[in-house]
Amino acid sequence: MSEIFDELRAALWSVWHRRWIAVATAWGVCMLGWAAVSLIPNTYESKARVYVDVEDVLSKQLGIAGDGKEEIMRVRQTLSSAKNLEKVVTSTRLGEGITERGALDAAIAELEKKVKVTSEQDNLFEITAAIGRRDLDDAQNAVLARDVVQKLLDILREEYVIGSRTGISTAIGDLDRQLEERKAELEQAEQRRLAFEAQYPDLVGGSDSLSNKVQEARSELRDVDADLAAAQSALAAISGQIASTPRTITGGRDATGPRAALLQAQTQLAELRGRGLTDKHPDVIATIKQVALLSRQAAAAGDDAGGTPNPAHASLVAIRSERQASVEALQARRAALQSNSAALMASQASEPAAAAEANRISRDYDVLRQNYEKLLQDREALRTRGQVEDKASQFRFDIIQQPGVPQTPASPHRPLLLLGVLIVGFAAGAAVAYAMTQMKSSYATPQKLERAFDLPVIGSISLTVSEAARAVERQRLKQFAGACAGLVVMFVILVAIEIVSVGAMA
């Protein structure tokens, strides 16, 4: 530890012994450094904050709203693209004097480093431009920074609001051309389908449709068979009722005789059967027994010659005629369905190649028709979206912070640079003085001398200074302090000048 302390004392003595060289070096370094700092142009930064709104209630209700995140991502990626930056360069002072493509590309590359588009939130982003050109003064650089940001906002409005509607019109035109092509193909497919259907009417719709028709015919035939069986059963029932009902009844003077009772019972039996009750129903069984009993009583009273027509019998005959007609109609329908089903099955079995062709024609026609309808829906959706955006654009942005002319430079931080130059100047002076000491073959302490020659040092003689020498030394110290203070005063003056100039700009 003592050796380190001795080395430090020796270094300080070396610097102090050559302090005038150190202060001269510090003045030279500071003058050069401060001159370099003064040549650095001020960079002025202009900002604008933009809120992008892609939420449109009307577009959502119509089902034409786009994906807002994709729109915002597109803005962020393309706003600072080379194409848009070229527009900025050519429309501002950045493009003055540029006539060659190489110079223009260099200006675009330089501007790309100075323009930043950063996102603060999902829908909020900031546009920043930092301009500091040597050939322009501070006021011109500040105005140019504002102009660059304003031009980027103008490009945003043109490219993503007005350009959105132009893109919709172009897309509608492309869809119209595609629709014309699909329409021609669909008409050709329809002609091929009509010609094939005229040749093979049973194969309309392909083999799948033919199989469906066979299945439908079989299902309908089963339904008709069930209806026919029910109708034949009902006809047999009414025929049995007619067989048990007399054609005529004897009309006597005694309205309460056996014949009148028999007529009333037969009428009641006809009504029960007309209601659909079978012969096993208790009411029908009781009525049948009553009719049989009354028939025997009426026969014992005398024959029914000269009787009147029985209305119950006439009613049952009419019902039987209706049911007979229904049975015949169902039989005819059944025969027609059997014939149609047989023809369909014969077509399915005898024309496999034609069925395959029918499948292909039907499939091609369906695909073309679906594509055509899809294109029609897309075109109408785009037209609706264009009409909506004429009144309220889906893509809308609000400028939260307008770009302004900056009043103070964003960089460099000149007072900090001046202070850094001052510190570097003093450090450089001390380093030069110490280096010169190291090049001399002298020793600051007896210990260093002893270590250098590996011999014991008997003693050292201290320096004795007279009063006159001390006065001269004090005068030199004052001069040295003045030289050092002069550097500090120069630094303070330069900082003051910088503050005043910035205040005057503001």
pLDDT tens-digit readout, 203-214: 555 445 556 666
Q: Give the architecture-level CATH label for domain 44-176+388-401.
A: 2-Layer Sandwich (3.30)
Residue 163's pLDDT is what?
47
Residue type present at position 229? A
CA 241 to chain CA centroid, nearest Å: 78
Place of tokens 């992008």: 52
CA 379 to chain CA centroid, nearest Å: 19
Q: pLDDT category, 2, cuts 50, 70, 90?
A: low
Determine which helix (DSSP H) or strand (DSSP E) holds 73, and give its type and residue range.
helix 68-78
Q: pLDDT category, 58, cuts 50, 70, 90?
A: very low
Residue 416 has pLDDT above 80, yes or no: yes
Residue 240's pLDDT is what?
75
Residue 62's pLDDT is what?
37
Share of the chain above pLDDT 90, in %: 7
pLDDT tens-digit readout, 254-311: 445 566 777 777 778 777 777 777 777 777 788 888 878 877 777 776 544 445 666 7
Best-predicted range by mean pLDDT among 8-12, 117-121, 401-405, 490-494? 490-494
pLDDT tens-digit readout, 227-246: 888 888 888 887 777 776 77
pLDDT tens-digit readout, 38-53: 888 888 899 988 887 6
Residue 160 has pLDDT above 80, yes or no: no
b/e burial code for range 260-295 (CB count within 10 A of at least 16 → b): bbbbebbbbbbebbeeebeeeeeebeebbebbeebb
Q: Pairing relation of β-strands 124-131 and 44-53?
A: antiparallel
Neighbours of 81 (CB within 10 A): 13
Q: pLDDT category, 25, cuts 50, 70, 90?
A: very high
Residue 301's pLDDT is what?
61
Residue 441's pLDDT is what?
59
Residue 81's pLDDT is what?
80
pLDDT tens-digit readout, 136-158: 888 888 889 999 988 888 887 77
Q: For the residues 89-113, what does the mean pLDDT come to?
A: 87
Q: For the residues 166-176, what does the mean pLDDT come to?
A: 66
**Cα–Cα separations (whole angstroms), residue 175 to 131, 163, 388, 390:** 46, 18, 19, 20
**Residue 62 structure tokens:** 């119509």
